[in-house]
Structure 1
Amino acid sequence: MTAPLDPDALAAAFTEAFRHAPEGVWHAPGRVNLIGEHTDYNDGFVLPFALAQGVSVAAAARSDGVLEVRSRQAPGDAVRAPVAGGPITAEGWPAEHAWAAYPAGVARVLAPYGTGGASLLIDSDLPRGAGLSSSAALECATALALCELSGVHVERPELARLAQRAEHEHVGVPCGLMDQAASLLCRAGSALMLDCRSGLSSHVPFAPGDAGLTLLVVDTRARHSLTAGDYAGRRAECERAAAELGVPALRDVKDLAGALASLRDPVLRRRVQHVVTENHRVEAATGLLRAGAVAELGAMLTASHLSLRDQFEISWPQADTAVEAAMRAGARGGRMVGGGFGGSAIVLAPADRAGDVREAIGAAYAKRSWEPPAFLEAAPSDGARRTR
């Protein structure tokens, strides 16, 4: 586990880079989605929690209407873009600067609300491409910084939707609302039960350590990129299935058996089966947490993984191997997390078996000559905030 980001060190680095001190430092966390994958853009339910790790932004206002961005993870020239202007997708930037579309998009979406130019220095302790939502953390930290620098107040649920819009319009990823909402709304010791249609949410107690359990995040080292088209393809399939079923979104399917019988395309049947049953798993998992039955979540996690692997078809060999090895070593359950096709998995294990689970997954990787996985013990943490 890496040391937490130091806001004082980031402020000092900002001063060195921009030759003046920042006005503040803001932090937004990454997230782990406990359960509820690919349900968010289907107007369904999700149950994420925030990580201690995330993205921090040191920032100062500018008067020239320009956003100037530097990153400690991408050393080199600053990236500059006018705050005013239309969409510039990630593909419109030089490859080495594609990451800058995220903060630039947020700046352009917020500009009508009264935010202006700014200088930003970004730091992160989230691995990119690991499925832990480093992109949404960057968006949300930027959004908080820009709003506070300009004295603009936007309620957090609305700010999450604006950050989501920035990703749609300026990065080209048709993401759901979950990642931005989790980064802005989560609380320590809780998961966030979010209705992605209404935006309503509630905090559900989630403290696996109190139940003698550990939730391990397994970075499978298989990197993914949601701009590659697979994610958009799955979303399009879900929208096509909803249209054929005559419902606004797959969340509205009440008779699953009838819906499956009416769809002729076997691919669409599989997509519908996953989304509908995954929504039920989120509601069931929320009930288990409210009842204090954390250990019983394991079966839900594994059922979710099998559905994502077989019905939604977005898992990958390293994730499947991690879950299988963990179960053989005594884990209560596990699943892939994130958009799919690479990234991370989570494993719920008794705390006294966590070492065995790590060893078993590492041995399974070594047997296949894969790069060793990385592990993170996930602690439900607070959402985005000012840290300096």
Structure 2
Amino acid sequence: MHAMTDLPRARLAIAAAFLVQGLVFISLTTRLPRIQERWDLGELALSGVLLMMVLLAGVGSLVAERLAPRLDSAVVLRAGLLVVAGSVVVLVLAPSLAVFVLGLAAYGVGLGIVDATGNMQAVALEHRMGRVVLPSCHGAWTLGGVIGAVLTLATTDVPWSAIALVAVLPLLASVAPYLPRDHGVAATSTAIPTSADGDVPWRAIVMVGLALVVFYTVDTAAATWGPVYLDDVFDAPEGLVALATLPYLVATGLVRLVGDRLTERVGAVRLLRVGAAIALVALVVVVAAPSWPVAVLGFTLLGCGVAVVAPLSFSAAAALAGRDADPATRQARVDAVVARFNQFNYVGALLGAVMTGVVGAGSLRVGFAVPLVLVVALFWLARAFAPADDVVDVSAGA
């Protein structure tokens, strides 16, 4: 076991990986109207490109599942960050649509690897510290997104090629001191593919995963289509379309940064149900908004409502996977489960990015009815999150 003094440095490194991932992702999504114009893409063509990226992110997550047990999640996380850095340069500086698509494809794979291994690192940290830390880790992702959205607002007039400088950040994050594997896991890691399936309560984990699908449907719809919604439906000033994303991210980030304490005080189940009610009201405001400032208010409220769904989903899944196991076996099993659980992320992203665009091809008001209907399921699914309330107990002895 590594000394407790290593954990603060590892926590900062993990937070940095989340922050960089959020910054790069939102830097790209808030520029979708500009990307559409640059490559003359319609809504359906853009949906197709996003579909490819989401599917390849799922592939990246599967790659992480295969590699992390053998190489350590810290090593695979570094590799994923390097893929993200290289792909951003390619897709921004692409001389043709074909090269842009190739760069976006590579970015999708890198996105999946970093998503999976970043959450593996955060879950391992949570277990070693014996307290809730995933909401604040995801809060770092959101803070990165806020910075990315602010950068978009501040750089609307810069040459397109200058955006490639964003790639420097994942490059720097790739050398951070991430959490090394517990001693003893390496000896059992080769057995992970078989042992991980045998003792994992997948039915319970799938229930939690469905909530993650709902969250990413809502989140990706807001992040991907929010700026386009303000641009198309309300004809908002071009320099302000990123406001669909920025207040949403600020609200999400603020709730996540206090999410560790909120979860410990209120409990995951109750917190999720209150959030679901807020999200439902928020989406009604977005769909029925008479003007773009009202829609922005709806997106902001939405961020407050859904903020803790994703981090608590990973906490609950890891708690379910890691029960009744020694620390070495638990980390091996949890790493495998987190990578597979991360696939729910992309199912939700698929619904949010692609279905919202397809259903809303005529009007994005109709498109945003997709997350509006799905968010109701969180009231029922919240009961599956009881294990997240027990994370400290589950972590005892980690």
- TM-score for the superposition, normalised by structure 1: 0.31
The structure carrying a bigger helix percent of its residues is 2
The structure carrying a bigger strand percent of its residues is 1
- TM-score for the superposition, normalised by structure 2: 0.30
